[in-house]
Amino acid sequence: MEPHGVNLRYQSKRPVGAKILNRKTNLSMGKVHSFPGSSMKVGDFYSLDPRLIPKHIGIIMDGNRRWARGKGLKDGEGHRAGTENLKKVVDHCQKLGVKHLTVYALSTENWRKRAKEEVRGLFNLLVKIVKEKKEEYRLRGIKFFVLGNFQAFPRRVKRAIDEALKVVIKQERLKFNVALNYGGRDEMIRAIKQIIKDGIRPGEVDENLVNRYLDTNGQPDPELIIRTGGEIRLSNFLLWQLSYAELYFTDTFWPDFGPKKLEEAIKTYQDRQRRFGK
């Protein structure tokens, strides 16, 4: 089955597998177009309007194990392939001008319920990519950040994360958020507890105040949420922040969701009319 975008507010009338066209500007795949006020085109595979690139993209990276099992490989090979693909997606997001990228790497449920060997392998991959990319990302203006409670992790993992978080970026071009031991409900509970602890009066509580107590404090809400792997659910990811996000679900497993698939998702996002309740 071809990957496709699903919007829970409405279904596009475009048949699955049909050529993707922008209703307003009639952009088609593989052609270079000019945009009003800009002579540049963004995208290696699709002609994307640079003015409509989402500032914040969230990705639920699903399907590593099924990808591996479908090829007769061990689960760990799927996670390794997924990690290599993540590097490509981070690079491409920066190239396209995305300012914030949040990826769901390890949920509170994964952390507690997955086999110890698998979790240990995930920790090894995390430490490897953090150490490997720390200096490169500093030079490129990619700021590593963590959502969730990683203090429960083994000491070597915490140390590697702490070192990456301390890296100073002079000119930040992309905020790369990795959700680790993260759950949307847990995030809200932690925020509520801290609001109470700080003695905030009920009349003082509004959306802006709550935002300041969330892990994403200071960052814009995601405009596009992508889930790979064929499941059509949010799995406790950024529940507060995705109120007005466009949702895109694809059958493609995460290791195969490379730059071209990313552009396809963004192209679908650009084709939609965002009404915000109007």
Q: Which of 15-19, 49-53, 75-79 has the lowest mean pLDDT?
A: 15-19
Q: For residue 13, is pLDDT > 50?
A: no
pLDDT at 89: 98
Q: For residue 7, is pLDDT > 90?
A: no
Classify residue 223 by burial, with Cβ atoms within 10 Å: 0-12, 13-18, 19+.
Answer: buried
pLDDT at 237: 98
Q: Which of 1-10, 68-77, 88-97, 150-159 has the lowest mean pLDDT?
A: 1-10
pLDDT at 40: 67
DSSP state of 42: B
List of residues 6+ apart from 139 with CB closer than 8 A:
none
pLDDT at 32: 37
Q: What is the CA radius of gyration of the chain?
A: 19
pLDDT at 11: 37
pLDDT category of residue 115 using cuts at 50, 70 and 90: confident
Q: For residue 116, is pLDDT > 90?
A: no
pLDDT category of residue 73 using cuts at 50, 70 and 90: very high
> Looking at residues 181-198, what average pLDDT do you find?
97
pLDDT category of residue 28 using cuts at 50, 70 and 90: very low
The domains found in the chain, sorted by start residue, are 54-271 (3.40.1180.10)
Write the Ramachandran bin of 97: left for phi over 0, alpha for psi from -120 to 50, otherwise beta. Answer: left
Q: Shortest CA distance to 186 belongs to which of 111, 236, 243, 119?
A: 236
List of residues 6+ apart from 18 with CB closer than 8 A:
none
pLDDT category of residue 38 using cuts at 50, 70 and 90: very low
pLDDT at 109: 76
Known catalytic residues are 62, 110
Please tell me the pTM assigned to this model: 0.84
Using a pLDDT cut of 70, give the percent of the chain over it. 85
- 162/181 Cα distance (integer angstroms): 15
pLDDT at 110: 76
pLDDT at 3: 42
> Looking at residues 229-240, what average pLDDT do you find?
97
Q: For residue 69, is pLDDT > 50?
A: yes
> Looking at residues 231-259, what average pLDDT do you find?
97
pLDDT at 114: 80
Whether the Cβ atoms of residue 57 and residue 222 lie closer than 8 Å to each other: yes
**What sign does the dihedral 270-87-107-146 (CA atoms) show?**
negative
Please, what is the average pLDDT of the chain? Answer: 87
Selected residue with higher pLDDT from 41 and 80: 80
Between helix 155-165 and helix 116-140 the angle, nearest 10°, is: 20
- The tens digit of pLDDT for each residue in 119-152 reads 889 999 999 999 999 999 999 999 999 999 998 8
